[in-house]
A and B are shown apart, each in its own frame.
Chain A
Amino acid sequence: MALALAAPALAGGNLYTRAQQLFLDLGLPPWIFAILVAAVKVALILVFILLNVLFLIWLERKLGGHLQNRLGPVYTGPFGLLQTVADALKVLVKEDVIPAAADRWAFIVAPFIAFVPALMIWLVVPFGPGLQARDLSIGVLYVAALSGLIIPSLLTAGWSSGSKWSLLGAFRAGAQLISYEVPLLLAQLAVVVWAGSLSLNDIVRAQQQGTWFILLQPVGFIVYLIAAIAELNRTPFDLPEAESELVAGFNTEYSGFRFAIFFLTEYANLLTSSAIAATLFLGGWSGPWLPPFVWFLLKTYVFVFIAMWVRFTLPRLRVDQLMNFAWKLLLPVALLNVVVTGAIVAL
């Protein structure tokens, strides 16, 4: 956390200009400085995501335990806080099994097709004023494009495993993610229309000047919430990994390090969806008294909490319910929301 809090100084403050001056005084070409700054930014983002994922996995178990009248992890460290560390160590020392029936090449590549874009999204997430690796003018589109890459990854993983559980899980994941991506993007589109910009930073500033978009876009917010939980393959939408029928879905054959990559991606995506929701609907880093970065984290964890609460409360849907809900209810509502928003903005 201390690392992330030190970032504003790196991003735009005195330290940045002083370091730049130092480099120029040393007679080094400016591109070395540019590469170093980029590397520092990427490292900070990576540390932020990994620390949060470690915490998220623990939180999921602890919160899930207490929501279901259990205790969750208690033995490893205070409040079981070191449970994730123990799990990570266990997973990393396991044998790396590649099934004989697997398509080796695709099996190895598949986890990374999901993992790399999941990290790349954080390039545009605004942690605070000036605390953003890069304010892309196509921010929302960039996020949408990269988060869509999880679908080919899951399909590749399920197909290359050479197992019927994996294949069926991949089919379900593909159908579900394609279906729920449409209302998800439409909900984001309504926010973009209202803010008049695709840049995430501009969207936060628009909410700073007006009100939070959750008040102006209540329908869009609910659509986003439901579609995002479905995109994350979480209960009640966890049909791709329904353990009672599919063993573990697309990642049945994955073990050790490769499984850890999928697991890490899943929680990184939970964090990403929450951060994007906080940015689009809850005013991002803006807020009184507390530092912006703290506001950003608090708002992000509101969504994390909702997603976990839903997961440990609701039962799993059936496949037909899932599809009917997406195409016959969620999509028309999201479309109507965009049309109404457009009409209001035009007037």
Chain B
Amino acid sequence: MTTTLLVFLALAAVSLFAAWRVVTDPQIMHAGLWMGLSFVGVAGIFLLLTAEFLAGVQILIYVGAITTIILFGIMLSDIGEVKEEEPPLLSLPGRAKRPGTPVAVLAAGAFVLALILLYRDVAWTSLPAAGTLSTAPGAGTPAGGLWEGFSVKLIGQALFGEYALPAEAASVLLLAALLGALVLAAREEG
């Protein structure tokens, strides 16, 4: 068992436990905080894979922005605790279930399937030179230098070069969503 594997297991355990608490905690504000912790764990796994840029973005957007917005929304909406008579979305077999459970299971299953297909499809590029990556089994602490800074450059070149059009389309979509939210909010105010 290498150090990398140990760290990975710890991070995975934290992320999974937090994710489990997100769907089981009756106090919805706590669920939001657990979600933030889960995102932090995933960012740690990204770091372990030397995808620093992705880890930074994960913290900045998912923890700093999305979790914040969700907490903000919960505080504004005064939901508080999920009521006792309402069974949790995920419960042990044999106990009362919500009508939405099959849909949730199907959606999650489809997502996992899509991820597996994606994983099999992508041609994973090998490292620039053997031994420069810290995740290689047996490697000690990363020496820095060659591999560091590579991912930012690669992602930038891919986003603004080969994949410029899809990236722009995604940003236009986000802009449309932003304007849509604005229109809806303005209409409600009357």
Query: Which A residues are closer than 8 A to B by beta carbons?
Result: 30-31, 34, 103, 105-106, 109, 135-138, 141-142, 144-146, 148-149, 151-152, 155-156, 158-160, 167, 170-171, 174, 178, 198-199
Most buried by B among A142, A158, A160: A142
Residues of B within 8 A of A (CB): 3, 27, 29-30, 33, 36, 52-53, 55-57, 59-60, 63-65, 67-68, 71-72, 75-76, 140-141, 144, 148-149, 151-152
Q: Compute how far the CA of A167 lies from the CA of B78 in the bound complex, rounded to whole angstroms.
A: 12
Q: A109-B33, A174-B72 are in contact. Are A149 and B149 (CB under 8 A)?
A: no
In the complex, which residues of chain B have a beta carbon less than 8 angstroms from the beta carbon of A198? 152
> What 8 new A-B contacts, CB under 8 Å, besides A106-B33, A145-B57, A148-B63?
A103-B27, A103-B30, A105-B30, A106-B29, A148-B64, A151-B68, A152-B67, A155-B75
- Known contacts being A137-B149, A148-B64, A149-B63, is A156 close to B71, with CB within 8 Å? yes
A31 to B59, Cβ gap below 8 A? Answer: no
Q: Which of B3, B56, B140, B141 contacts A138 (CB 8 A)?
A: B56
B174 to chain A, nearest CB (A): 14
A138-B53 contact in complex given A34-B140, A152-B68, A171-B75, C-beta closer than 8 Å: yes
Q: Give Cα distance in the complex from A178 to B149, angstroms.
A: 28
Check A137 against B152 for contact (C-beta < 8 Å). Answer: yes
User: Looking at the complex, which one of B59, B68, B148, B151 makes contact with A174 (CB distance below 8 Å)?
Assistant: B68
Among residues of A, the one whose C-beta sits closest to the C-beta of B63 is A149
User: In the complex, what residues of B have CB within 8 A of residue A159's CB?
Assistant: 29, 71, 75
Cβ of B53: which chain A residues have Cβ within 8 Å of it? 138, 141
B75 nearest CB neighbor, chain A only? A159
Across the interface, do B63 and A152 meet the contact criterion of CB distance under 8 Å? yes
The 12 listed contacts between A and B (C-beta, < 8 Å) are A31-B141, A138-B53, A142-B56, A145-B56, A148-B59, A148-B60, A149-B63, A152-B63, A156-B33, A160-B29, A170-B75, A174-B68
Which residue of the partner chain, among B3, B72, B144, contacts A31 with CB atoms under 8 Å? B3
- Would B141 and A167 count as touching, CB distance under 8 A? no
- The 6 A-B pairs at the shortest CB distance, nearest first, are namely A148-B64, A137-B149, A145-B59, A145-B60, A141-B56, A151-B68
Chain A residues positioned under 8 Å from B75 (CB to CB): 155, 158-159, 167, 170-171
Q: What's the minimum C-beta distance from A201 to chain B, rounded to whole angstroms?
A: 11
CA gap between A167 and B141 in the complex, in Å: 44
Contact residues in A for B64 (Cβ distance below 8 Å): 145, 148-149, 151-152
**Looking at A136, A142, A145, A171, which has the most chain B CB atoms within 10 Å of its CB?**
A145
B-chain residues with CB within 8 Å of residue A178 when the two chains form the complex: 65, 68
Q: Nearest-CB distance from B98 to chain A (Å)?
A: 26
> Are B152 and A138 in contact, CB atoms less than 8 angstroms apart?
yes
Q: Which residues of A contact B33 (CB under 8 A)?
A: 106, 109, 152, 156
